[in-house]
Amino acid sequence: MSHSQDNKCQTVSWAVGDAPLELGPCIAAIGNFDGVHRGHGKVIEAAIDAARKAGVAAAAVTFDPHPREFFRHDDVPFCLADRIEKDRLLAAAGVDRVIHVTFDDNLRCTDAAAFVTDILPAIGVTGLFAGSDFAFGRGRGGDIDTINAMGADIGITATAVPLLSDENSAVISSSRIRAALQAGEVGQAATMLGHDWAVTGIVQLGDQRGRTIGFPTANIPLGALLHPAFGVYAVQIFDADPQAGFALLGNGVANIGIRPTVEDRGVLCEAHLFDQQPDLYGRRLAICLKSFLRAERKFTGIDELTSQIATDARAARKILPPTRQTA
Protein backbone atom coordinates (compact mmCIF):
# COMPACT_ATOMS: atom_id res chain seq x y z
CA MET A 1 0.00 0.00 0.00
CA SER A 2 1.42 3.39 -0.91
CA HIS A 3 0.27 6.97 -0.51
CA SER A 4 1.11 10.28 -2.15
CA GLN A 5 -0.31 13.76 -1.83
CA ASP A 6 -0.80 16.00 -4.86
CA ASN A 7 -2.25 19.41 -3.95
CA LYS A 8 -5.48 18.48 -2.19
CA CYS A 9 -5.94 15.11 -3.89
CA GLN A 10 -4.56 12.05 -2.15
CA THR A 11 -3.39 9.13 -4.27
CA VAL A 12 -3.40 5.66 -2.73
CA SER A 13 -2.50 2.17 -4.00
CA TRP A 14 -4.21 -0.85 -2.46
CA ALA A 15 -4.09 -4.57 -3.28
CA VAL A 16 -6.14 -7.56 -2.18
CA GLY A 17 -4.48 -8.80 1.03
CA ASP A 18 -3.42 -5.32 2.19
CA ALA A 19 -4.69 -3.94 5.48
CA PRO A 20 -7.85 -1.84 5.14
CA LEU A 21 -7.30 1.82 4.28
CA GLU A 22 -7.78 4.00 7.35
CA LEU A 23 -8.74 7.15 5.51
CA GLY A 24 -12.37 7.46 6.52
CA PRO A 25 -15.47 6.79 4.42
CA CYS A 26 -15.82 7.94 0.83
CA ILE A 27 -18.33 7.98 -1.98
CA ALA A 28 -16.56 6.92 -5.15
CA ALA A 29 -16.79 6.83 -8.91
CA ILE A 30 -15.40 3.51 -10.16
CA GLY A 31 -14.00 2.56 -13.56
CA ASN A 32 -10.83 2.21 -15.61
CA PHE A 33 -11.08 5.92 -16.50
CA ASP A 34 -8.58 5.56 -19.36
CA GLY A 35 -8.11 9.09 -20.70
CA VAL A 36 -10.65 10.51 -18.22
CA HIS A 37 -13.10 11.52 -20.96
CA ARG A 38 -16.37 13.46 -20.72
CA GLY A 39 -18.39 10.30 -20.02
CA HIS A 40 -16.10 9.52 -17.08
CA GLY A 41 -16.50 13.12 -15.97
CA LYS A 42 -20.26 12.66 -15.69
CA VAL A 43 -19.82 9.64 -13.36
CA ILE A 44 -17.20 11.49 -11.28
CA GLU A 45 -19.43 14.57 -11.01
CA ALA A 46 -22.32 12.45 -9.69
CA ALA A 47 -20.05 10.89 -7.05
CA ILE A 48 -18.68 14.30 -5.99
CA ASP A 49 -22.22 15.74 -5.64
CA ALA A 50 -23.30 12.79 -3.46
CA ALA A 51 -20.12 12.98 -1.36
CA ARG A 52 -20.56 16.71 -0.71
CA LYS A 53 -24.17 16.15 0.38
CA ALA A 54 -23.10 13.29 2.69
CA GLY A 55 -20.14 15.22 4.09
CA VAL A 56 -17.58 12.56 3.16
CA ALA A 57 -14.59 12.41 0.80
CA ALA A 58 -15.17 12.06 -2.95
CA ALA A 59 -12.98 9.37 -4.51
CA ALA A 60 -12.18 7.77 -7.85
CA VAL A 61 -11.50 4.02 -7.69
CA THR A 62 -9.56 2.69 -10.65
CA PHE A 63 -7.49 -0.35 -11.56
CA ASP A 64 -3.76 -0.62 -12.16
CA PRO A 65 -2.75 -2.10 -14.51
CA HIS A 66 -5.73 -1.73 -16.83
CA PRO A 67 -7.50 -5.15 -16.88
CA ARG A 68 -6.98 -5.35 -20.66
CA GLU A 69 -3.22 -5.05 -20.05
CA PHE A 70 -3.41 -7.84 -17.46
CA PHE A 71 -5.39 -10.28 -19.62
CA ARG A 72 -3.84 -9.48 -23.00
CA HIS A 73 -0.10 -9.07 -22.44
CA ASP A 74 0.70 -9.06 -26.15
CA ASP A 75 -1.89 -6.46 -27.08
CA VAL A 76 -0.72 -3.44 -29.05
CA PRO A 77 -0.28 -0.35 -26.85
CA PHE A 78 -3.70 1.18 -26.17
CA CYS A 79 -3.52 3.38 -23.04
CA LEU A 80 -4.81 6.93 -23.48
CA ALA A 81 -2.97 8.15 -20.36
CA ASP A 82 -0.14 6.93 -18.17
CA ARG A 83 -0.72 6.69 -14.44
CA ILE A 84 0.67 10.13 -13.58
CA GLU A 85 -1.50 11.78 -16.24
CA LYS A 86 -4.58 9.82 -15.15
CA ASP A 87 -4.01 10.98 -11.56
CA ARG A 88 -3.66 14.59 -12.74
CA LEU A 89 -6.88 14.42 -14.75
CA LEU A 90 -8.81 12.79 -11.89
CA ALA A 91 -7.54 15.43 -9.45
CA ALA A 92 -8.55 18.15 -11.92
CA ALA A 93 -12.03 16.59 -12.06
CA GLY A 94 -12.35 17.46 -8.37
CA VAL A 95 -11.97 14.23 -6.38
CA ASP A 96 -10.32 14.28 -2.96
CA ARG A 97 -8.84 10.80 -3.28
CA VAL A 98 -7.70 8.45 -6.06
CA ILE A 99 -7.57 4.77 -5.08
CA HIS A 100 -5.61 2.51 -7.44
CA VAL A 101 -6.68 -1.09 -6.83
CA THR A 102 -3.96 -3.45 -8.09
CA PHE A 103 -5.29 -5.72 -10.82
CA ASP A 104 -3.51 -9.01 -10.12
CA ASP A 105 -4.39 -12.70 -9.82
CA ASN A 106 -5.90 -12.12 -6.38
CA LEU A 107 -8.32 -9.53 -7.75
CA ARG A 108 -9.02 -11.61 -10.86
CA CYS A 109 -10.09 -14.51 -8.63
CA THR A 110 -12.31 -12.38 -6.41
CA ASP A 111 -15.98 -13.07 -7.07
CA ALA A 112 -18.64 -10.35 -7.13
CA ALA A 113 -19.88 -11.10 -3.60
CA ALA A 114 -16.41 -10.78 -2.07
CA PHE A 115 -15.79 -7.58 -4.04
CA VAL A 116 -18.84 -6.03 -2.38
CA THR A 117 -18.47 -7.43 1.14
CA ASP A 118 -14.65 -7.43 1.46
CA ILE A 119 -12.98 -5.04 -0.99
CA LEU A 120 -15.35 -2.05 -0.92
CA PRO A 121 -15.35 -1.87 2.93
CA ALA A 122 -11.54 -2.29 2.98
CA ILE A 123 -11.07 0.79 0.80
CA GLY A 124 -13.69 2.78 2.71
CA VAL A 125 -16.39 2.98 0.01
CA THR A 126 -19.93 3.53 1.29
CA GLY A 127 -21.46 4.69 -1.99
CA LEU A 128 -20.48 3.87 -5.54
CA PHE A 129 -21.25 5.51 -8.88
CA ALA A 130 -20.46 3.81 -12.21
CA GLY A 131 -21.43 3.89 -15.85
CA SER A 132 -24.53 1.81 -16.53
CA ASP A 133 -22.39 -0.82 -18.31
CA PHE A 134 -20.12 -1.40 -15.28
CA ALA A 135 -19.40 -5.06 -14.44
CA PHE A 136 -16.96 -6.50 -11.92
CA GLY A 137 -15.83 -9.66 -10.13
CA ARG A 138 -14.65 -12.97 -11.52
CA GLY A 139 -16.09 -13.44 -15.01
CA ARG A 140 -17.61 -9.92 -14.77
CA GLY A 141 -20.35 -11.56 -12.70
CA GLY A 142 -21.48 -8.47 -10.79
CA ASP A 143 -23.20 -5.22 -11.71
CA ILE A 144 -24.86 -2.24 -10.00
CA ASP A 145 -27.83 -4.37 -8.90
CA THR A 146 -25.44 -6.88 -7.30
CA ILE A 147 -23.87 -4.12 -5.17
CA ASN A 148 -27.26 -2.86 -4.00
CA ALA A 149 -28.49 -6.37 -3.16
CA MET A 150 -25.34 -7.47 -1.32
CA GLY A 151 -24.39 -4.11 0.11
CA ALA A 152 -27.75 -3.34 1.75
CA ASP A 153 -26.82 -5.05 5.03
CA ILE A 154 -23.42 -3.36 5.27
CA GLY A 155 -24.45 0.17 4.28
CA ILE A 156 -23.11 0.23 0.72
CA THR A 157 -25.23 1.59 -2.14
CA ALA A 158 -24.55 1.93 -5.87
CA THR A 159 -25.97 4.15 -8.58
CA ALA A 160 -25.78 3.65 -12.35
CA VAL A 161 -25.01 6.80 -14.34
CA PRO A 162 -26.38 6.80 -17.92
CA LEU A 163 -23.66 6.67 -20.57
CA LEU A 164 -22.93 10.06 -22.14
CA SER A 165 -23.67 10.40 -25.87
CA ASP A 166 -22.46 13.02 -28.35
CA GLU A 167 -24.65 15.17 -30.59
CA ASN A 168 -25.03 12.21 -32.99
CA SER A 169 -26.35 9.98 -30.17
CA ALA A 170 -23.18 7.87 -30.20
CA VAL A 171 -21.84 6.91 -26.76
CA ILE A 172 -18.55 8.60 -25.84
CA SER A 173 -16.07 5.83 -25.10
CA SER A 174 -12.32 5.25 -24.80
CA SER A 175 -12.58 2.92 -27.84
CA ARG A 176 -14.01 5.70 -30.03
CA ILE A 177 -11.32 8.11 -28.82
CA ARG A 178 -8.60 5.58 -29.67
CA ALA A 179 -10.07 5.13 -33.16
CA ALA A 180 -10.19 8.91 -33.71
CA LEU A 181 -6.53 9.30 -32.69
CA GLN A 182 -5.47 6.39 -34.91
CA ALA A 183 -7.18 8.19 -37.79
CA GLY A 184 -5.38 11.48 -36.99
CA GLU A 185 -8.68 13.10 -35.94
CA VAL A 186 -7.24 14.88 -32.92
CA GLY A 187 -10.00 17.52 -32.79
CA GLN A 188 -12.65 14.81 -32.67
CA ALA A 189 -10.73 13.02 -29.91
CA ALA A 190 -10.39 16.26 -27.91
CA THR A 191 -14.14 16.90 -28.18
CA MET A 192 -14.89 13.49 -26.67
CA LEU A 193 -12.14 13.77 -24.06
CA GLY A 194 -13.00 17.31 -23.02
CA HIS A 195 -9.28 18.14 -23.31
CA ASP A 196 -6.43 17.70 -25.79
CA TRP A 197 -4.82 14.28 -25.98
CA ALA A 198 -1.15 14.27 -25.03
CA VAL A 199 1.92 12.10 -25.28
CA THR A 200 3.42 12.20 -21.78
CA GLY A 201 6.72 10.93 -20.50
CA ILE A 202 10.33 11.65 -19.62
CA VAL A 203 12.49 13.22 -22.34
CA GLN A 204 15.18 10.74 -23.41
CA LEU A 205 18.61 11.51 -24.78
CA GLY A 206 18.37 11.02 -28.56
CA ASP A 207 21.06 11.07 -31.24
CA GLN A 208 20.94 14.91 -31.20
CA ARG A 209 20.68 14.94 -34.99
CA GLY A 210 17.91 17.56 -34.80
CA ARG A 211 20.34 20.07 -33.28
CA THR A 212 22.63 19.80 -36.29
CA ILE A 213 19.84 20.79 -38.70
CA GLY A 214 18.42 23.62 -36.57
CA PHE A 215 15.48 21.73 -35.10
CA PRO A 216 16.45 20.28 -31.70
CA THR A 217 13.80 17.86 -30.43
CA ALA A 218 12.63 16.49 -27.12
CA ASN A 219 12.26 12.74 -27.65
CA ILE A 220 9.67 10.74 -25.68
CA PRO A 221 9.14 7.00 -26.34
CA LEU A 222 5.42 6.18 -26.45
CA GLY A 223 5.84 2.96 -24.46
CA ALA A 224 2.41 1.66 -23.41
CA LEU A 225 0.60 4.73 -24.78
CA LEU A 226 -1.67 4.37 -27.78
CA HIS A 227 0.04 4.92 -31.13
CA PRO A 228 -1.92 7.68 -32.89
CA ALA A 229 -1.69 8.17 -36.67
CA PHE A 230 2.01 8.38 -37.51
CA GLY A 231 3.01 11.75 -38.87
CA VAL A 232 3.51 15.39 -37.99
CA TYR A 233 1.37 17.43 -35.61
CA ALA A 234 1.04 21.03 -34.49
CA VAL A 235 1.47 20.77 -30.72
CA GLN A 236 1.55 22.66 -27.45
CA ILE A 237 4.22 21.54 -25.00
CA PHE A 238 3.66 21.54 -21.23
CA ASP A 239 5.86 20.84 -18.23
CA ALA A 240 4.10 17.73 -16.87
CA ASP A 241 6.09 17.28 -13.68
CA PRO A 242 3.43 16.66 -11.00
CA GLN A 243 4.86 19.54 -8.96
CA ALA A 244 4.91 21.99 -11.89
CA GLY A 245 1.19 22.66 -12.21
CA PHE A 246 1.12 21.72 -15.91
CA ALA A 247 2.75 24.95 -17.11
CA LEU A 248 2.71 25.73 -20.85
CA LEU A 249 6.24 25.92 -22.24
CA GLY A 250 5.20 26.97 -25.72
CA ASN A 251 4.05 25.94 -29.19
CA GLY A 252 5.83 23.51 -31.43
CA VAL A 253 5.73 20.79 -34.03
CA ALA A 254 6.13 17.06 -33.38
CA ASN A 255 6.70 13.90 -35.37
CA ILE A 256 5.22 10.66 -34.05
CA GLY A 257 6.37 7.46 -35.68
CA ILE A 258 9.19 5.08 -36.35
CA ARG A 259 11.59 7.57 -37.92
CA PRO A 260 11.66 6.23 -41.49
CA THR A 261 14.47 8.56 -42.57
CA VAL A 262 16.98 7.68 -39.85
CA GLU A 263 17.68 4.39 -38.11
CA ASP A 264 14.78 2.85 -36.23
CA ARG A 265 14.55 3.72 -32.52
CA GLY A 266 11.04 2.41 -31.86
CA VAL A 267 7.90 4.56 -31.75
CA LEU A 268 8.91 8.04 -30.64
CA CYS A 269 7.37 11.46 -30.25
CA GLU A 270 10.00 14.00 -31.34
CA ALA A 271 8.83 17.48 -30.41
CA HIS A 272 10.48 20.74 -31.42
CA LEU A 273 9.70 23.75 -29.21
CA PHE A 274 9.55 27.00 -31.18
CA ASP A 275 11.85 29.98 -30.51
CA GLN A 276 13.71 28.62 -27.47
CA GLN A 277 16.13 25.84 -26.61
CA PRO A 278 15.84 24.98 -22.91
CA ASP A 279 17.51 21.83 -21.61
CA LEU A 280 14.59 19.39 -21.51
CA TYR A 281 16.48 16.13 -20.95
CA GLY A 282 15.11 14.17 -18.02
CA ARG A 283 12.05 16.40 -17.67
CA ARG A 284 8.51 15.04 -17.82
CA LEU A 285 6.59 16.76 -20.62
CA ALA A 286 3.12 16.57 -22.12
CA ILE A 287 3.02 17.02 -25.89
CA CYS A 288 -0.60 18.03 -26.58
CA LEU A 289 -1.70 17.25 -30.14
CA LYS A 290 -3.62 20.20 -31.64
CA SER A 291 -3.76 19.36 -35.35
CA PHE A 292 -2.56 16.61 -37.69
CA LEU A 293 -0.44 18.23 -40.43
CA ARG A 294 0.68 15.31 -42.61
CA ALA A 295 1.42 11.60 -42.64
CA GLU A 296 4.92 10.33 -41.95
CA ARG A 297 7.02 9.73 -45.04
CA LYS A 298 10.55 8.83 -46.02
CA PHE A 299 12.89 11.50 -47.40
CA THR A 300 15.81 11.11 -49.77
CA GLY A 301 18.21 12.79 -47.38
CA ILE A 302 18.77 15.29 -44.61
CA ASP A 303 18.36 18.35 -46.91
CA GLU A 304 14.90 17.30 -48.02
CA LEU A 305 13.98 16.41 -44.42
CA THR A 306 15.20 19.81 -43.15
CA SER A 307 13.20 21.66 -45.81
CA GLN A 308 10.04 19.69 -44.95
CA ILE A 309 10.43 20.32 -41.21
CA ALA A 310 10.68 24.06 -41.92
CA THR A 311 7.47 23.82 -43.98
CA ASP A 312 5.77 21.86 -41.18
CA ALA A 313 6.87 24.45 -38.60
CA ARG A 314 5.40 27.29 -40.69
CA ALA A 315 2.11 25.38 -41.02
CA ALA A 316 1.99 24.74 -37.26
CA ARG A 317 2.66 28.41 -36.43
CA LYS A 318 -0.33 29.44 -38.57
CA ILE A 319 -2.65 27.05 -36.71
CA LEU A 320 -1.51 27.51 -33.10
CA PRO A 321 -2.56 30.48 -30.93
CA PRO A 322 0.23 32.87 -29.88
CA THR A 323 1.73 31.99 -26.50
CA ARG A 324 4.01 33.62 -23.99
CA GLN A 325 7.14 31.49 -23.82
CA THR A 326 7.81 30.14 -20.32
CA ALA A 327 10.50 27.49 -20.75
- Please state, as a whole number, how many other Cβ atoms lie within 10 Å of the Cβ of residue 10: 18
DSSP state letters, 177-233: HHHHHHTT-HHHHHHHHTS--EEEEEPBP---HHHHTT---EEEE-TTB----SEEE
Per-residue model confidence (pLDDT) at position 290? 98
Range of the domain at 298: 186-319
Per-residue model confidence (pLDDT) at position 70? 57
Any idea what the CATH number is for the domain that residue 284 is in? 2.40.30.30
* Count of domains forming the chain: 2
**Does this model's pTM top 0.95?**
no
* pLDDT tens digit sequence for 151-195: 888 999 999 999 998 887 889 999 999 999 999 999 999 999 999
Q: How far apart are CA 51 and CA 315, in angstroms?
A: 47
89 located within any domain: yes
Residue 105 sits in the same domain as residue 190: no
Residue 26 sits in the same domain as residue 110: yes
Q: Which residues contact 300 (CB under 8 A, 6 or more apart)?
A: none
Q: How far apart are CA 71 and CA 65, in angstroms?
A: 10
Residue 207 sits in the same domain as residue 152: no
Per-residue model confidence (pLDDT) at position 297? 82
* pLDDT tens digit sequence for 226-254: 999 999 999 999 999 988 788 999 999 99
Q: How far apart are CA 220 and CA 275, in angstroms?
A: 20
Per-residue model confidence (pLDDT) at position 5? 45
Residue 7 sits in the same domain as residue 110: yes
Residue 137 sits in the same domain as residue 231: no
Per-residue model confidence (pLDDT) at position 208? 56
Residue 152 sits in the same domain as residue 199: no
The helix (H) or strand (E) run that includes residue 110 is none
Per-residue model confidence (pLDDT) at position 137? 79
317: nearest Cα among 280, 268, 255, 273:
273
32: nearest Cα among 143, 144, 134:
134
Low-confidence ranges of the chain (pLDDT < 70): 1-7, 66-75, 206-214, 259-265, 324-327
Q: Which residues contact 50 (CB under 8 A, 6 or more apart)?
A: 27, 127, 129, 159
Any idea what the CATH number is for the domain that residue 52 is in? 3.40.50.620
